[in-house]
Structure 1
Amino acid sequence: MKISARNILKGKVKKITTGSVNSEVTIELPDGQEITSIITKKSVENLKLSVGVPACAVIK
Structure 2
Amino acid sequence: MQVSARNCLKGTVTSVNIGSVNTEITLEIAPGFKVVSIITKASAEQLELTVGKEAYAVIKASDVLMAIND
| TM-score for the superposition, normalised by structure 1 | 0.92
How many residues align? The count is 60
Show structure 1 runs of 5+ residues with no match: none
Q: Secondary structure at the match of 2:38?
A: strand
| Structure 2 unmatched ranges of 5 or more | 61-70
- Regions of 4+ moved over 4 Å: none
Q: Which has the higher contact order (CA 8 A, sep 6+)?
A: 1
Structure 2 partner of 1:45: 45
Per the normalisation by structure 2, the TM-score is: 0.80
More strand by percentage: 2
What percentage of residue pairs aligned between the two structures are identical? 55
Q: CA RMSD in A?
A: 1.0
